[in-house]
A = this chain, B = another copy of it.
Amino acid sequence: MTMDVQEVMTEMGRSARAAARVLASCSVEQRNEALLQIRAAIAADRHAILAANEMDLEQGRESGLEAALLDRLALTPAQLDVLEQGLSQVAALPDPIGAISDMRQMPSGIDVGTMRVPLGVIGMIYESRPNVTIEAASLCLKAGNAVILRGGSEAIQCNKRLGDSLAAGLSAAGLPAEVAQVVPVVDRAAVRALLTMPECVDMVVPRGGKGLIERVAAESKVPVLAHLDGVCHVYIDADADRDKAHRIALNAKTQRYGTCNTMETLLMAKAQADMLPDLVTALQSEGVEVRGCEASRQAAPDITVDAVEADWSTEYLAPILSVKLVDDVDEAMSHIARYGSNHTESIVTENASTAERFLREVDSGSVMHNASTRFADGFEYGLGAEIGISTGKLHARGPVGLEGLTSRKYIVKGDGHIRQ
């Protein structure tokens, strides 16, 4: 069985590589046409897609999947509408590839510049939500990449049906169906195979829980674009405007709890300690459990829970916040360097030079001044789309849009030039 899986995956990898070569030579008009044909195919296949999703849900209920997972697994007609609109929106985005930039003449007489090109083949590994199948495929296609889609076993029927719609749309636009392939087997050996074919797969994008990301990062022989944790900080400086500080801290924690750019630890200069009680009251009235260091508990007696060492490196993804009082921006940056996850940190201050130091020295994908960490998002950054968020420092960092799915190569133009 495992042997067969390896064969299936090797063949998918090879055909994806070949499809990527075809795709690299086709125009943006053809790629956009494919996106619209996929939209049409999904519209035509609507009932079959929803029926396949119903089969997955039934299977999930039988095998005792918990309610939250069933909820994420469900694909509603309204969500299908959103998916269809999304395809048109991606088609309308500017072409991320082909542009030549920085062309300059060198002393030797040659002209040198760079061209944006597709990466090649992307491996997507994700859980539950079947709409990722279409969202990821559309972004990869727009950037000129072939994609191999490996969703969760619980969504296999719906994903396979969506794969048929992808194939139909691609074929209708004259492109190989292998541009976007859904892995048809649920065996975990398929994931291992996908992660160990660097000759066929150029980058892997895992989306899901921390367990999934950790497994992928540990096993992969292919570069991985991902973020493991989002332990995001807001630091309220001694020179902060208190009104802005209160507003930003409240928003960064309470606007949504389950997102990776939600604040998990609030750092506050001791000079601001007397604004803490009001802030704690506001957080608690939103249902947030506040855990504090000793100094913060003295400043705000309403904090009844001690923050322990483990709190500083925990991504709660829940209405819980840890609070620490610090001397100054240096102690705040040291804390972030030690416990942070290089995701998103924000300083609230009216002191321009303190802000500049924080922006320059904090080593995170997004560093902010007087803004809520919740803004760390591809759409809020004007990227038009988001394939994921990266806390790695190489290639793409922070929210990753279409550009993160591309590469650059050097272009050299001569007229018979040779090296002396």
Contact = CB atoms under 8 A, between A and B. Distances in A.
A353 to B, nearest CB: 12
A202 B394 CA distance: 8
A375 B108 contact: yes
A206 interface: no
A243 B104 contact: no
Contacts of A414: 368-372, 375
B380 A418 contact: no
**Most chain B Cβ neighbours within 10 Å, of A112, A398, A415:** A112
Give this chain's copy count: 2
Interface residues of A, number: 67
B413 A409 contact: no
B115 A360 contact: yes
**Most chain B Cβ neighbours within 10 Å, of A244, A394, A408:** A394
Contacts of A202: 393-394
A239 to B, nearest CB: 14
A375 B419 contact: yes
A370 B416 contact: yes
Given A223-B223, A360-B98, A419-B375, A395 B397 contact: no
Interface string A110-152: 1010010101100000000000000000000000000000000
29 contacts: A21-B337, A25-B357, A25-B360, A98-B360, A106-B381, A110-B380, A112-B381, A117-B363, A203-B394, A223-B223, A223-B392, A244-B415, A250-B418, A252-B418, A367-B410, A368-B413, A369-B414, A370-B414, A370-B416, A370-B417, A371-B417, A371-B418, A372-B417, A372-B418, A372-B419, A374-B419, A376-B412, A394-B394, A398-B409
- 3 interchain residue pairs of minimum CB distance: A371-B414, A244-B416, A251-B418
Given A367-B409, A367-B410, A399-B410, 15 more contacts: A24-B361, A108-B380, A117-B360, A248-B416, A248-B417, A248-B418, A255-B419, A359-B411, A363-B409, A369-B413, A370-B416, A374-B418, A375-B417, A394-B395, A397-B407
Interface of A: 21, 24-25, 98, 104, 106, 108, 110, 112, 115, 117, 119-120, 202-203, 223, 241, 243-244, 247-248, 250-252, 255, 337, 346, 357, 359-361, 363-372, 374-376, 380-382, 392-395, 397-399, 407-419
